[in-house]
Structure 1
Amino acid sequence: MSARTAQLLLVLALFAAAHGAVTGCGSEQGSGRGAQARTPGHSPMAEARARQVADAWDGSEAARAWRKGYYPIGEVVQLPEDAFHDAADKLAFGNQNFALRGQLPAAPRKNGRVKWESGGSLTLPLMEARQAYEAVARGGNDGPHLTVTGAKLGEMTLDTSRGPATVPAWLFTLDGYGTPLKRAAVRPLKPSTPPVEPVAEGPSDTLQPLSQLVGTARDGRSVTVIADHGACDDGPAVAVLETDGSVVLSASVVGANEGPCTKQLLHEKVTVKLDRPLGDRILLDAFTGRPVPYGGPGLRA
């Protein structure tokens, strides 16, 4: 064999090995960085844990209670149609900086009704306008602020674990805006005790807790979650196990580097595609064994 032939064979072998490494990585999902998310298939331990969580929830009393309750998976705070007028107003909302000019009304009744698009309703206690305002206006710095000049009780539509619903809402008038800022006026029910315990050990490269759910695609075929990772790794990965009754997400960190590293906790949006729409299936975190909590920008439902 000539030296040139031997070199060619070596190059082809290396190419084949690299190609196999790439195609063996599993499905790819979109991430908050705009790059392809690192989403390998389940490790044996993570897959076993995801199956344990799915089996515990499917058909459980906790799952039945979840499907009968009010649990938002969409924004409980909705912006005015013409928001925002400028960067200062956008910054004020992000920092939850509000100023109140005038008095807020009392709730006209004790209870309000949540009505689902698919049928069914639920009566829940109404939150006072002051409580709703304080849930939004948590900032307190000297930067830009939005001014609330009044409020009235109305309605808003948002996504829930049972599909779209019309819920009572406080409609806050903002100085300079033609449409109100809406805040749901009923609180989610307290979830039932989960039928499975959290992972006994702390977070590891194999399994990490998810931070929160931040959105569901309009067609229900993908969900976007926030996953945590460190400063010395390649970022988070989220694998998915789908059953008829649940969707279990398993978060992990990939490419962790050995050696000294700063103790930084970074957050990244990861969009996970589903084989079929989420529907009324329960979105679960494999690490905690609980439904993934929903939370918009600084606003956890």
Structure 2
Amino acid sequence: MRSRASRSVVLSAGAALSAVGLVLAHGCGRDESGSGRETRERRASQVAAAWDGSAAASEWRSGFHPMGDMVQLPKGGPRSKADARAVRERGFVLEGRLPAARPQDGRVAWDGGESLARPLAGAHESFETLTGARVGGKPHLTVTGAKLGEMTVATSRGPAVVPAWLFRLKGYDSPLKRAAVAPSTLPQPPIEQAREDPGHLDRLVEVSSDGRSVTVVALRGACDGDSVVEVLETRGSVVLSATVEDPQNGGDCTAQLLSQQVTVTLKRPVGDRVLLDAHTGRPVACKPWLGPSPSWS
């Protein structure tokens, strides 16, 4: 099944190349011949066969793996452009006291009664995940206190209610919520990363509310055409293979990568199937907007 591409973003060469271990020089495209397609299809089948019915898949389904943001802004979002900039640049400052006591384990609760005990982060530790290096004079949001509450997070097992720190922001009536529960560690993948370079998925953006479409960020060379994501669906997994249209196979190419969102439509909802990257053989990485969750490190 093919995919629908949307906007592209130029990544800095150093950061992008470091992230995926690529060197783009004379010709930054990939082989789109029949043999190239056969290689991708064979690799996707191998990944699905390795995961379906495996101990890794069972471990994945029994854990807590966030598939969306672990931070929720106050209702209505930022009230001004300056506040929106402060959020983007992690400009949070603390004025006041945060609870000092470190809470015990909390529970992640799914519909249907399933739950899982997970360690909780303290208020100070959670606040530190919101902050970045601030330079004087930049816009900022002021945190005046916090209390332990709850929030709903998208996970690999559907929506879950989790313990969260509710941070009070000066000038806002509702809190900023930061999930306090630690994600489960990823299982060891039952297949090694591919030696070939069929394409790269950078991260998961979202799974639609009905589970019938998945949006990811794919990486491509600056000389290539649009990113394409192909799908292999099995009973236990959804394997995504990244490639490009109209690859540049010759000539000079600037050493940079483009980041492009691509949405794929599935034959049936994702459900509890594992969403996999054909190249790495691992679950597609979820990288929330304020940094990756610990389970993807």
Name the TM-score, length of structure 1 as normaliser: 0.84
Displacement after TM superposition at 1:254 (Å): 2.6
Percent of residue pairs identical: 52
Match of residue 40 from structure 2: 46
Match of residue 203 from structure 2: 212
Counterpart-to-counterpart distance in 2, 1:124 and 1:280: 20
| Structure 1 vs Structure 2 CA RMSD | 1.8
**Stretches of structure 2 lacking an aligned partner (at least 5 in a row):** 9-31
Match of residue 245 from structure 1: 236
Counterpart-to-counterpart distance in 1, 2:180 and 2:100: 12
Name the aligned partner's letter for residue 72 of structure 2.
Q
Match of residue 233 from structure 1: 224
Counterpart-to-counterpart distance in 2, 1:241 and 1:32: 24
User: Secondary structure at 2:126's aligned position in 1?
Assistant: helix
Task: Confirm or deny that 1:112 pairs with 2:103.
Answer: no
Displacement after TM superposition at 1:139 (Å): 4.1
Match of residue 31 from structure 1: 6
Higher relative contact order (CA 8 A, sep 6+): 2
User: Secondary structure at 2:41's aligned position in 1?
Assistant: helix
Counterpart-to-counterpart distance in 2, 1:85 and 1:98: 15
Whether contact under 8 Å (1:211, 1:228) holds in the other structure is yes
Q: How does 1:116-127 map to 2 (within 5 A)?
A: 116-127=110-121
Match of residue 282 from structure 1: 274
1:37-69: CA deviation from partner (whole Å, max 9, x where unpaired): xxx998110000000000000000000010000
User: Secondary structure at 1:115's aligned position in 2?
Assistant: strand
Counterpart-to-counterpart distance in 2, 1:44 and 1:265: 25
Counterpart-to-counterpart distance in 1, 2:226 and 2:5: 13
Displacement after TM superposition at 1:140 (Å): 2.5
Match of residue 184 from structure 2: 189
Whether contact under 8 Å (2:5, 2:227) holds in the other structure is no
Counterpart-to-counterpart distance in 2, 1:193 and 1:148: 38
1:152-176: CA deviation from partner (whole Å, max 9, x where unpaired): 1000011111111100001111111
Counterpart-to-counterpart distance in 2, 1:51 and 1:107: 49
Whether contact under 8 Å (2:3, 2:263) holds in the other structure is no
Name the aligned partner's letter for residue 108 of structure 2.
V
Whether contact under 8 Å (2:3, 2:262) holds in the other structure is no
User: Secondary structure at 1:62's aligned position in 2?
Assistant: helix
Name the aligned partner's letter for residue 98 of structure 2.
L
Task: Confirm or deny that 1:256 pairs with 2:256.
Answer: no
Displacement after TM superposition at 1:107 (Å): 4.3
Match of residue 59 from structure 1: 53
Counterpart-to-counterpart distance in 2, 1:139 and 1:279: 39
Whether contact under 8 Å (2:44, 2:240) holds in the other structure is yes
Whether contact under 8 Å (1:97, 1:141) holds in the other structure is no
Counterpart-to-counterpart distance in 2, 1:117 and 1:89: 35
User: Secondary structure at 1:173's aligned position in 2?
Assistant: strand
Displacement after TM superposition at 1:101 (Å): 0.8
Match of residue 258 from structure 2: 266
Counterpart-to-counterpart distance in 2, 1:118 and 1:265: 43
Match of residue 223 from structure 1: 214
User: Secondary structure at 2:7's aligned position in 1?
Assistant: coil
Displacement after TM superposition at 1:28 (Å): 4.4
Whether contact under 8 Å (2:129, 2:290) holds in the other structure is no
Task: Confirm or deny that 1:144 pairs with 2:136.
Answer: no
1:214-240: CA deviation from partner (whole Å, max 9, x where unpaired): 111111100111111122111311100
User: Is the alpha carbon distance of 1:28 and 1:199 closer, same or farther for their aligned partners in structure 2, counting shifts above 3 Å?
Assistant: closer
Displacement after TM superposition at 1:286 (Å): 0.2
Higher CA-based Rg? 1
Whether contact under 8 Å (1:168, 1:185) holds in the other structure is yes
Query: How many residues are aligned here?
Result: 266
Displacement after TM superposition at 1:118 (Å): 2.9
Counterpart-to-counterpart distance in 2, 1:186 and 1:194: 24
Name the TM-score, length of structure 2 as normaliser: 0.85
User: Is the alpha carbon distance of 1:240 and 1:139 closer, same or farther for their aligned partners in structure 2, counting shifts above 3 Å?
Assistant: farther
Whether contact under 8 Å (1:169, 1:184) holds in the other structure is yes
Name the aligned partner's letter for residue 281 of structure 2.
G
Displacement after TM superposition at 1:298 (Å): 4.3
**Stretches of structure 1 lacking an aligned partner (at least 5 in a row):** 1-25, 34-39
User: Secondary structure at 1:29's aligned position in 2?
Assistant: strand
Counterpart-to-counterpart distance in 2, 1:101 and 1:67: 41
Whether contact under 8 Å (2:212, 2:265) holds in the other structure is yes
